[in-house]
Amino acid sequence: MDFKKIIIIVVIFLIFFLGLLYFLKQDSTANQSKQSLSPEEQMTMERISPLGTGEGFWDEAISPFREDKTKPYLELLDDLKTGKINFVWEVWALRRKCKAEYTPDQCNATILAYIDAEYESPDKEKVKDLFISYFRYEEEYRKWEQPTDLSFVELYEKIKAKRRDVLNDKADLIFGMEESQVSFLEGTQNFIKQSANLPAEQRVKQFEDLKKKTYGTYYDSLVSREDKFDHYQVEMSLRDKEFNAITDPKEKEKYLNRIEIKYFGKERAGSLAEERSKESKFKESISKYELKEKDFLRENANLSAAEKEKKLKELRIQFLGSEEEADAYIRRKNIEEAGK
């Protein structure tokens, strides 16, 4: 055997052997330490720390959190104030990383241990205080007997007051974004009624102004998370009166296309317009077929049922373009009839 290979094997063996000795020594020392305790001392230790001394426990428990980069306190503060993050969602995202068998208190303690391990002072104390305050609020909220005879708006005002009673100025940090959204929903109901007779462009602008004013510093973050289609539908509902007043189909399509380009871009808006055109032509084909069907049945009343169906199927294929579409038409009609 090559001399160099022998040397390498020997070195590897020595490293392995020394490592094994070290491990055995550590294990022996731990056992001796435990055995040196009296039965009374062991019982006391187990009662104080039912999960053990904690040595190694938290390292394992907080490991699922370590994949996320911790935010400095000031950055966390800014993200809360601007709505980039929702504190309650963040707490529950962390909790979902806890083991299923953990109690709520164990999970909360694990989160706090993670903060201890990952943050340096003074950020550590500030971030921990935020989480501890929220945990305390949850506990108080669970104990709180809510009034049952209030409307949602009245009850929510009570909830907001409770938050400030427990959290003081932290209530705005933790719940400010949610409260602005609820406030906007309330404001929207009033706006829809009061703005019914405004010109569409003015109505849309005022609606957006209301949103900006109500959301405040959260506006950019909240709008960035809005579903484009939902936003599009809201604008179309605000324009409903003006849109329905357009009688020329071509002008109506232009109007719709302009709004769709605003939300979905030119390419997607073009695709939507094409789909509508196909749908419109298909409906027109169905109308033509149904007129032809009536004429045929009136003029051929003496034909047998089989002959009628054979001829009608030919007409459906002729008007609707394919046997598949013809069969689909019959299925839809059967479903409609069954639903009556």
pLDDT at residue 70 in the model: 77
- 56 three-class SS: coil
Apex 115 CA angle, 112 and 120, nearest 5: 140
Cβ neighbour number for residue 33 with a 10 Å cutoff: 9
Which residue intervals of the chain are DSSP H helices?
3-35, 39-48, 57-61, 73-82, 87-95, 104-118, 123-143, 152-167, 170-194, 200-215, 219-225, 228-238, 240-244, 249-299, 305-320, 323-339
Among 179, 265, 201, 253, CA closest to 229:
265
One digit per residue, the tens of pLDDT, for the chain of length 340 reads 443 333 333 333 333 333 433 333 333 333 443 344 444 334 333 333 333 333 444 555 555 555 667 788 898 899 999 999 899 998 998 898 888 899 999 999 999 998 988 889 999 999 999 999 999 999 999 999 888 899 998 999 999 999 999 999 999 999 999 999 999 999 998 999 999 999 999 999 999 999 999 999 999 999 998 899 999 999 999 999 999 999 998 999 999 999 999 999 999 999 999 999 999 899 999 999 999 999 999 999 888 989 999 999 999 999 998 999 989 989 988 888 887 6
Rg (CA), the chain: 35
User: What pLDDT, on the 0 to 100 scale, is given for residue 315?
Assistant: 92
Q: In degrees, to the nearest 5, what angle opens at C-alpha 290 toward C-alphas 286 and 295?
A: 150
Residue type, 271: S
pTM equals 0.68
